[in-house]
């Protein structure tokens, strides 16, 4: 089976610093892949290089068999790689539902004029998007808040809205940078449950950066461990847990 996303020997340099150094892996649909590593290991840079915010200084990135390294973020997003950022990006004055629908317009932008002019196909796309948005809001217990301005929600709820907004576009690959940071432990578990469910039921490949090691161990299929820009391990939670180098570099005990 051809992987959804393939990185081959990807490196990123900032002046003298190697933020990523020869990273190679392949990700598949329906998989939850966690990226862990100490601060400054290159986790966010990995997401930035996949989504086009940073250019690789070496190596290749293929999405559905097509090279995407060197493309602009917007073009990569249109191809189906969506991401959230460490610090939000919602419109605080707009309602929850309006925020989610704003995300949808990235997806149906090619037919956006169609929406303005009301072609049947464009109306249909908008109807489907609205139905999906409502279903996702319900799934995250946000249905009752659909008409509230985002600024009235708690931090955790806002984070969920951001993820719903990204998911409403039905992306084949989703990159989540610390999706549970700032959430209470029950909300964290709930968020991980939803992430697993979306991967399992919708076949979305989800990559997430996460610090809470127990969540990563319980909730991911594959773990990638970065340390000083190098991928020092890749494997199932069980494999990574047994890896001596990982224990030394990351968990701080051997």
Ligand X SMILES: Nc1ncnc2c1ncn2[C@@H]1O[C@H](COP(=O)(O)OP(=O)(O)O)[C@@H](O)[C@H]1O
Determine if 158 is a binding residue for ligand X (CB under 6 A): no
Residues facing residue 58 across a β-bridge = 11
Q: How far is the CB of 240 from ligand X (least distance, A)?
A: 16
State which residue has the least CB distance to Mg ion. 44
Calpha distance 36→41 (Å, rounded): 8
Determine if 52 is a binding residue for ligand X (CB under 6 A): no
Q: How far is the CB of 176 from ligand X (least distance, A)?
A: 13
Interacting span for Mg ion (CB under 5 A) from 36-44, 69-77, 142-150, 179-187: 36-44
Determine if 41 is a binding residue for ligand X (CB under 6 A): yes
Determine if 51 is a binding residue for Mg ion (CB under 5 A): no
Look at residue 142 and give the partner it binds from ligand X, Mg ion, none, a contact being a CB closer than 5 to 8 Å depending on partner kind: none
Calpha distance 63→28 (Å, rounded): 10
Q: Which two tokens stand for residue 77?
A: 């997003």
Give residue for tokens 């949808």: 104
Sign for the pseudo-dihedral over CA of 62, 64, 65, 66: negative
Long-range CB contact pairs, 143-146, < 8 A, 24+: 145/96, 146/95, 146/96, 146/97
Tell which one of 6, 44, 145, 207 touches Mg ion (CB under 5 A): 44
Tell which one of 6, 27, 37, 204 touches ligand X (CB under 6 A): 37
Q: Which two tokens stand for residue 165?
A: 């907004």
Look at residue 14 and give the partner it binds from ligand X, Mg ion, none, a contact being a CB closer than 5 to 8 Å depending on partner kind: ligand X
Q: Which residues bind ligand X (CB under 6 A)?
A: 14, 17, 19, 37, 39-45
């Amino acid at each position: 089976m051809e992987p959804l996303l393939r990185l081959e020997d990807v490196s990123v340099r900032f002046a003298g610093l190697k933020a990523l150094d020869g990273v190679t892996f392949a990700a598949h649909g329906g998989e939850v892949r966690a990226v862990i590593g100490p601060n400054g290991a290159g986790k966010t840079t990995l997401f930035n290089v996949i989504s086009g915010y940073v250019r690789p200084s070496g190596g290749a990135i293929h999405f559905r068999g097509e090279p995407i390294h060197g493309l602009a973020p917007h073009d990569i997003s249109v191809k189906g790689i969506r991401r959230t950022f460490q610090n939000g990006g919602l419109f605080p004055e707009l309602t929850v539902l309006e925020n989610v629908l704003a995300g949808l317009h990235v997806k149906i932008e090619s037919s956006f004029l169609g929406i303005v002019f009301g072609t049947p196909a464009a109306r249909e796309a908008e109807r489907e998007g609205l139905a999906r948005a409502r279903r996702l809001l319900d799934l995250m217990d946000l249905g009752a808040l659909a008409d509230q301005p985002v600024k009235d929600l708690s931090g955790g709820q806002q984070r969920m809205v951001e993820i719903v907004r990204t998911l409403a576009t039905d992306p084949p690959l989703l990159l989540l940078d610390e999706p549970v940071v700032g959430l209470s432990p029950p909300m964290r578990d709930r968020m991980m449950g939803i992430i697993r469910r979306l991967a399992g039921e919708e076949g979305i490949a989800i990559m997430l950066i996460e610090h809470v090691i127990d969540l990563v161990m319980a909730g991911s299929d594959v773990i990638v461990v970065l340390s000083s820009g190098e991928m020092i391990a890749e494997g199932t939670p069980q494999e990574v847990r047994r890896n001596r180098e990982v224990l030394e570099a990351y968990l701080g005990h051997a």
